[in-house]
Structure formats: C-alpha cells, structure tokens
A and B are shown apart, each in its own frame.
Chain A
Amino acid sequence: MEPKEIFEKVTEKFGGKAVELQGEGFRPAFVVVSPESVREIALFLRDDPAMKFDSLMCLSGVDYKDRFAVTYHLHSLSVGHQIGVKAYLPREAPSLPSVDMVWPAANFQEREAFDLYGIVFEGSWDLRRILLPEDWEGHPLRKDYKYPEFYNGIKV
C-alpha cells in the first residue's frame, strides 16, 4: 500500500491523532501521529488485515533541537510494504506509551532511546539504561549534551 493510502486509513480511523504525512524527502514516508496515541495506532497498523505491519525494523530517538521525536520504521513481511511513524515530543519531560507489547523487538531499542535521549516509554516492561552504566548522568545523544569531566571521580 502507498504511504498516502496508509495515512488516509489512519486518519479515517483515528481522526486528528494522525497529524500529517511527511512524504517529500522522506524515504520511507512518515505518518506523524500524536505521542499519546502511538500504542493504539501501532496496534491498528499491526492487526489491520490490509496493513499487517508485523515487523518493527528500527526504533530511534531524534533530537530536532526544538523538540524530540521517536520514529518507528515498520515493514510487513506478508504484504511487503513499508511505512514510517513519527511522534514529536516536547523537550521538557518527553514521554510516550511503549510499544513493546505490540512488537517485542521494541524493548531493546526503547531502552536505547531512553538511555541516550532520556525519552520515557510509559508501561515498558523493563526500562533501564542499556549501553551506558546505570549511574551515568545525562543523555549523550542530545544536541545540548555537555561532556562530563569526571565519572565516579575518574577523569574522562
């Protein structure tokens, strides 16, 4: 299915929760959705017989300077189409529902986004730092990250 059709279907079902379609310059195109509805839209995209997005290829956090975003790259093995889903989040206390019950593959990647961006995934079954030590301060992939001089008294 083409991204435009997918966007129309999502709008039809969820109304204003699907904000816009980012097509030009985006490959695959993104359906931008409001963050609080990510899980229900994810369930719809997975279970709808015309969509069947059974595979979450990639989940990433992005820092767009004025706001954060979480992007989901979806692929359907049975239908063979792709789509991106994007949710913009405010810089202050970014959080959105976890999708690890929709695609279990999300868990590790959500932990990574939590670790490196400080984005909180509500309802995640296990949200801990994954790449950095548990007592690391700050979230390094943020654009305003300041490199620490010391870690536990050791000069870095």
Chain B
Amino acid sequence: MKARAEALPTQEMLINMGPQHPSTHGVLRVILRTDGEVVVNARPDVGYLHRALEKIGERVTYAQYMPFTDRLDYLAAMNCNAAWAWTVEKLAGIEVPERAEYIRVIVCELNRIASHLIAFGSFTADMGAFTPFLYAIRERERINDLFEDICGNRLTYNYVRIGGVSADLPDRFLEKTKEFLDYFAPKVPEYNNLISYNKIFVHRLANVAAVTPEDAVGYGLTGPNLRGSGVPFDLRKNEPYSVYPEFDFDVCVGTGERGTLGDCFDRYMVRINEMKESVRIVRQAIEQIPEGPVMAKVPRMFKPPVGEVYFRAENPRGETGIYLISDGTVNPYRLKIRAPSFVTMGIFEKITKGLMIADVVAVIGSFDIILPEIDR
C-alpha cells in the first residue's frame, strides 16, 4: 500500500476558476491552489471590468455622473442613483421635497427586493437547483415593469436627480405597487418551502465558511454579509438618512439556525428575510406619501461649496460609501466609491482555506458580489 502511494505522488494543482465561469457572477477570476478536492489557497483576481469610473467622475459634472452610478451595481441601480444624489445633497446642503424622498425610498426598497431575488435565484442555481431562479425572475419582472412605468428603463434607470427625482410617479403607480406587494408577500414563504429548508440545500450551506462577528467587522463586511454574522447593524436604522426613521421595520440578523453563526446559510436567510422587511417599508411609504413637488430648485450650473463629505447608504450588497471632494467648480475634484462587494472580497482568501472546491461556489454566491461594482 505504501509503495503504491509513493508511486502515485500527490501534488498541488493550480486551477483558474474564471474569469468566464457561470458561478462567479461576472468576470471574476479565482486562482485556486488545490490539493485534490481541497482548496489550499484561493486568491481572487479582480479588475477585468475596470472602467475608471472614478476618473470619469473628475471630468463630468455632478448631474452628468448620475448615469454612471447606474453602472456600478446594475442589479440595484436605483440605490446607487440615490446614494449619489444623497451624497451631493449632503455636500451642498440641498433640501429635498418630502415627496421625492418617499419616492426614493419606495423605488430603493423595490430595487432591494429585485436585487435580493437575483441573489436568491442565482445562488440556488449555483447550488444546482435551477427552478427557484425562474420563480425569482418571474417576480423581478413585475418590479421591472413598475420601473419601466416610472422612467422607461428596466435596468439602468437614471431616475433619481440631485434635488429630487426626474418625474413624479405615473398614474396608478401606487395601486400597481400595492397589487405587486399583495402578490409578492406570500411568495417568500413559498420560496422557503421550495428550497430554503430543502435538506440537500441546507447541507450545502450550513457550517460552510462561517465568518465570526469580529472578522466580519474587521474585514469590513457590510449589509447582509455583516448581519449574517449576527451583527445587528443597518444604516437605515443605526445611521438613518432620508425618511427611513418614519418607518417601522426590523433588522434581520443571522442566528446560526441550521449550523454555525455566520455561515453561508445565515447570509442566505438574511436576504430572504430582508425581502419581507422591504415589503413592510414600501407598504408604509405608500400609506404615508405626501403630495407636493418632487424636485428642489437646483441651478443649472450647479457648483457646490468647497468641502469634503463622506456619505454611506445601505444598498442591497452592503454600504455604498461615497467620498466626495469639491473644489467649488462644476466637476467633482475627487470621487471615491467604497463599493461593498470590493471590500467584501478582502476576506475571500481567508475564508476559503480548507474548503472543498464546490464550497467556493457557495461562498461566492452567499456573499452576493457583483463585479461591475468591484472593478468600477
């Protein structure tokens, strides 16, 4: 037996996972060093989609930059639009009409549902269950229809403006949204019956790549990934902006319900539960939305005062922070986007050591990364 083992020496293998790989959610390259099926080291290599969005920001005006924010996180373009608008408004001290803020919250939360649906659908597809993806796409389609009513676009909306939103809600939009919520609310338990508590699915995720709360904070995980580790931190609650203080909702955290605290299953479950909370927020916003204008007066030649501001918003993938320096001209002087997925990738190498190759796919899916935002 010993002689045979010597005759067949094992050696480490270097495998390129990506840049084109169905489970990497875009063009992510992972350089895997494996010992058989076990990952010795998995090093992420990012940058394939780098479009120099920060450099472009220094060449265009504040308003012109809005469509570029669509291309940051294209599954949550409304949230990125709004984050940019809030940052500039914080810098320039613009008072936004209340109706516009309510509209922003409604579209942001709808977009959060749509984004989490894709996260849920593509994650389950990565795990080998293709059916839930079709369910998720079916529901997301209705949100896309709603957004098409609002602004004519289905993916990159360019709807939010500095000082408000580009147009008031179309006729019957709120009724249609209500109809959608009534339709969607019972779907979440359906997903749980369909896949969440499926034994095989749970076994693929539970106890895989558990992130301790200390690591989650230290490595800068945010959003559902941070809350999946049991840290109850949500910017909408803890550092409220816009009209979020008006709404009653819960912060969903991981509890280690099927395994260790902070494992892939916890991160997955946080997103499922957040969809329910977003439904609650949108319902309240529809009840409370006031009448009034949707745009503040912002001059055409918009020049904010000299200053530096950092604003962060709770986006579906975590906190999108924008560090903006103004020198008083029409262009931003420096614009840094702290993309949640980019910072999240920092923990990837540490967390994947010693996992099976198939689990690496689970880790990527559970972090719900998006590449245009990583590479900017």
Contacts and interface: CB of A to CB of B under 8 A. Distances in A.
Pairing of A with B: yes
Interface of A: 25-28, 30, 54-58, 60, 62-63, 71, 73, 77, 80, 84, 103-105, 107-109, 112, 116, 129-133, 140-141
B219 interface: yes
Given A25-B305, A60-B323, A104 B50 contact: no
Contact of A108 (B307, B319, B323, B343): B343
B55 A26 contact: no
A63 B55 CA distance: 12
Contact of A132 (B47, B308, B343): B47
A27 B346 contact: no
B310 A84 contact: yes
A42 to B, nearest CB: 13
Contact of A26 (B47, B308, B350): B308
A54 B217 contact: yes
Nearest to A140: B55
Interface string B76-98: 00000000000000100000000
B325 interface: yes
A37 B169 CA distance: 53
B110 interface: no
A62 B220 contact: no
- Which 8 A-B residue pairs are closest in the complex by CB-CB distance? A105-B220, A25-B307, A131-B47, A60-B336, A58-B338, A108-B346, A131-B50, A27-B309
A109 B50 CA distance: 15
Given A58-B336, A73-B323, A84-B310, A104 B347 contact: yes
B11 interface: no
A133 B19 CA distance: 14
Contacts of A25: 305-308
A132 B375 CA distance: 9
A46 to B, nearest CB: 9
Nearest to B308: A26
Nearest to B47: A131
A58 B346 CA distance: 13
Nearest to A86: B308
Interface residues of B, number: 37
A62 B334 CA distance: 7
A80 B323 contact: no
A105 B321 CA distance: 14
Contact of A57 (B238, B319, B334, B345): B319
A65 B323 CA distance: 18
Contacts of A27: 90, 307-310
Most buried by A among B231, B308, B319: B308
Contacts, number: 85
Nearest to B49: A131
A54 B218 contact: yes
Contacts of B7: none
B218 A103 contact: yes
Nearest to A58: B338
B140 interface: no
Given A28-B310, A71-B323, A108 B336 contact: no
A63 B46 contact: no
Interface in B304-331: 305-310, 312, 319, 321, 323, 325
A111 to B, nearest CB: 9
Contacts of A140: 52, 55
A28 B169 CA distance: 35
B376 interface: yes
A140 B47 CA distance: 14
B342 interface: yes
Given A103-B220, A140-B52, 7 more contacts: A25-B306, A57-B312, A58-B338, A60-B323, A71-B323, A77-B233, A131-B47
A112 B345 CA distance: 13
Given A54-B218, A60-B323, A130 B47 contact: yes
B54 interface: yes
Contacts of A60: 323, 334, 336, 338
Contacts of B343: 105, 108-109
B238 A80 contact: yes
A58 B334 contact: no
B47 to A, nearest CB: 4
Contacts of B233: 77
A29 to B, nearest CB: 10
Contacts of B90: 27
A109 B323 CA distance: 13
B330 to A, nearest CB: 17
A112 B321 CA distance: 15
Given A58-B336, A60-B323, A105 B312 contact: no
